């Protein structure tokens, strides 16, 4: 039997994918490890990060990003999201 685990997210991000240059600095900077690079490309041909469930809203990605592509939001209460 395959069970689907859920993961609590205490925050979320809006990622401006069209401005991202695919430097990947945000990937190792993310403490919960919920940012991964997408296989998709933006209009300028760069891959960009996508958010998986489990964001803490810590803003480490926002602080390290040279292109200011992240807008970080924190939830007042954790939101349960199914793991992907």
- Residue 2: per-residue pLDDT: 45
Note whether residue 82 is domain-resident: no
Q: What is the pTM of this model?
A: 0.80
Note whether residue 58 is domain-resident: yes
For residue 59, the domain's CATH number is: 3.30.70
Note whether residue 83 is domain-resident: no
- Residue 3: per-residue pLDDT: 45
Alpha-carbon span 56 to 74, nearest angstrom: 7
Phi-psi sector, 24: left (phi>0), alpha (psi -120 to 50), beta: left
Please, which pLDDT band fits residue 83 given cuts at 50, 70 and 90?
low
What is the residue range of 44's domain? 6-70
Note whether residue 77 is domain-resident: no
How many folded domains does the chain comprise? Answer: 1
pLDDT digits (tens, 9 = 90+) for 26-70: 999 999 999 999 999 999 999 999 999 999 999 999 999 999 999
């Amino acid at each position: 039997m395959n069970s689907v685990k859920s993961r609590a997210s205490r925050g979320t991000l809006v990622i401006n994918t069209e401005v991202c240059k695919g430097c990947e600095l945000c990937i190792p900077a993310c403490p919960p490890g919920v940012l991964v690079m997408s296989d998709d490309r933006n209009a300028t041909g760069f891959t960009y990060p996508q958010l998986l469930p489990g964001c803490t809203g810590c803003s480490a990605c926002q602080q390290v990003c040279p292109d200011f592509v992240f807008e970080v939001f924190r939830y007042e209460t954790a939101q349960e999201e199914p793991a992907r």
